[in-house]
Amino acid sequence: MKRVSIIFLFILTIISYQNVIFASYNSEALVEELHQQVERVFKERSKIWNQLLMGQYVSIDEIEEDLNEFIVDPLLKLDMEMFEHMLNNPTSYEGISNVSVKSIYVVKNSLNRVKLECIMLWDISGYENEYTEEIKYIVEMENIKDRWMLSNYQISE
């Protein structure tokens, strides 16, 4: 009986060890995937921002169609209000030459939603010079049909 118990515990230990390794790998893979997806979404938003500044959008519907590819509510609604205001009230805005994710940390992970803490680097084309800003955000992503979409973000303190 002791022998059966020891063998059973040994097998249970091996299975548990494999699950820990697998879970660790999945976590690392998720962080890498989210890093790429957050950077992709912010680059796409920056591209739309710059195209609006260059006069390449003439209607808010064109902007909404492009934003629908990678943003969902509530951020979509807020972005639409901001871009509509920019279209209706043109003024001087600085362009974005690049945006990248410096670091990313998963704060909360649920079935199809994730909350992240990200440090982003923004390369800004100012009026007189170019400069880089480092900003820490809380970013919320939602997985819809196997695609990560940005649902909200805010500056973290």
Confidence at residue 22, expressed as pLDDT on a 0 to 100 scale: 41
Residue 19: pLDDT band (50, 70, 90) is very low
Residues 6+ apart with CB under 8 A from 60: 80, 83, 84, 87
Give the pLDDT confidence score for residue 25 in this predicted structure.
Answer: 41
One-letter amino acid for residue 103 of the chain: S
Has this prediction a pTM greater than 0.75?
yes
Helix, strand, or coil (residue 56): coil
Is pLDDT above 60 for 73? yes
Q: Dump pLDDT digits (tens) for 126-136.
A: 878 999 999 99
The predicted pLDDT at position 37 comes to 96
Average pLDDT on 69-86 reads 94
Q: DSSP letter string over 63-112? A: HHHHHTTTB-TTHHHHHHHHHHHHHHS-----EEEEEEEEEEEEEEE-SS
d(CA 114, CA 148): 9
Summarize pLDDT for 83-107 with one digit per residue, the tens: 999 888 888 889 999 999 999 999 9
